């Protein structure tokens, strides 16, 4: 599948360079194949990486094409992207330029400080999963740090499990003096729907944050409440 896709891109280099804006590299794609695709698609704006990325430079065919990209949006599976047990986001230079970052791993909320998330101060949006709220599942220190020191930050998107209630998570955060309207909680069951909407998850989060601000609402407003208000409900 990957080889046929590469052949298709090679037969239309101008199309690959100027038209392909969104790309998803899955685990079945080797680093060598991924490097070929990225070299052809230098106009990418949004990339999902689910292949090994953090290899030593002299063994990493992805190093040069990844660093050449001018991406604004990246979705990353950290467990797949990093080769060894030690994960440091600063080891991927691409992350220092990305503005919108979605991390697919459920443990990011409790390990953010230990993987270097606090180093990515260029971010305007960061998105990650959360488990049931509690000291063992949400490391509030990283959230406080992001909200305080990421001066370009517009929204933090936290994806809850379908069986969880947004209000429970909001209450957990407010009990710890986190009351920032830029924190938005969505249901992960709606991720695909949100991602495919106009502007994706980022625009949807911005709309919620802006709506809260225009009405002087605080943080604890669910997306369901937002849509109800938006459509003229109580």
DSSP letter for 54, please.
Answer: B
Q: Please classify residue 57 by burial: count the beta carbons closer than 10 Å to its beta carbon, then call 0-12 exposed, 13-18 middle and 19+ buried.
A: exposed
DSSP letter for 56, please.
Answer: -
Residues 41-45, mean pLDDT to the nearest whole number = 91
Rounded to an integer, what distance in angstroms lies between the CA atom of residue 192 and that of residue 53? Answer: 24
More confident residue, 225 or 130: 130
CA angle 121, 127, 130 (to 5 degrees): 120
Here the tokens at position 40 are 């052809």
Rounded to an integer, what distance in angstroms lies between the CA atom of residue 189 and that of residue 162? Answer: 6
How confident is the model at residue 56, as a pLDDT?
Answer: 66
How confident is the model at residue 98, as a pLDDT?
Answer: 93
Q: What percent of the chain has pLDDT over 70?
A: 88
Rounded to an integer, what distance in angstroms lies between the CA atom of residue 145 and that of residue 157? Answer: 15
Does the pLDDT value for residue 112 go beyond 90? no
Rounded to an integer, what distance in angstroms lies between the CA atom of residue 77 and that of residue 212? Answer: 31
Does the pLDDT value for residue 133 go beyond 80? no
Report CA torsion sign: 179, 140, 150, 126.
negative
Here the tokens at position 22 are 């969104």
Note the pLDDT tens digit of each residue in 148-201: 999 999 999 999 988 888 888 888 899 889 989 999 999 999 999 988 888 899
């Amino acid at each position: 599948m990957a080889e046929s896709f590469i052949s298709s891109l090679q037969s239309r280099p101008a199309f690959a360079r100027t038209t392909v804006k969104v790309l998803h590299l899955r685990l079945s794609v080797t680093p060598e194949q991924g490097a070929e695709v990225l070299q052809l698609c230098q106009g990418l704006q949004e990339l999902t990486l689910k292949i090994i990325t953090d290899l030593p430079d002299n063994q990493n065919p992805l190093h040069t094409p990844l660093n050449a990209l001018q991406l604004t949006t990246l979705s990353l599976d950290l467990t797949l992207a990093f080769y060894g047990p030690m994960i440091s986001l600063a080891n991927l230079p691409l992350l220092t330029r990305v503005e919108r970052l979605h991390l697919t791993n459920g443990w990011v909320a409790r390990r953010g400080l230990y993987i270097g998330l606090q180093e990515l101060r260029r971010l305007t949006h960061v998105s990650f999963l959360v488990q049931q709220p509690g000291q063992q599942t949400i490391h509030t220190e990283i959230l406080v740090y992001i909200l305080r020191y990421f001066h370009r930050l517009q929204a933090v998107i936290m994806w809850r499990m379908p069986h969880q209630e947004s209000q429970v998570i909001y209450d957990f955060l407010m009990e710890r003096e986190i009351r920032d309207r830029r924190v938005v909680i969505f249901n992960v069951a709606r991720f695909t729907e949100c991602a495919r909407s106009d502007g994706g998850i980022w625009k949807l989060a911005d709309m919620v944050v802006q709506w809260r601000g225009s009405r002087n609402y605080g943080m604890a407003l669910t997306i369901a409440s937002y849509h109800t208000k938006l459509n003229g409900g109580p």
